[in-house]
Amino acid sequence: DLRPDFLCGAGCGVLYLTLKWHKLHPAYLETRCNDLNAFTVKILLVLSNVEDPSFLLRDLNIVCYRWKWTMIVAYSVEE
């Protein structure tokens, strides 16, 4: 039984994704998207850890828009 990576209350689930992982395994996000169907607020937390993230971030932004998710991008682990 797969679940979200973080729970932020009863109605909010968060998935964590690094851009390196997304670049190596582009279908991973689609396999995890069903984990958050029960939540009202769905957040994709993205760590930008590649040199030129613009193309990957644009692709993820389109996916989040279609799935009605919120995307939060961090540029370091401390963020």
List average pLDDT for each run of 10 residues in the chain, which is 79 residues long: 81 93 92 83 94 93 93 93
The contacts found for 36-40 with CB under 8 angstroms, 24 or more apart, are 36/4, 36/69, 38/13, 39/4, 39/11, 39/12, 39/13, 40/11, 40/12
> Which two tokens mark 62?
């389109």
How high is the pLDDT of residue 2? 54
Outline where DSSP puts E strands in the chain.
6-7, 12-18, 41-47, 70-74
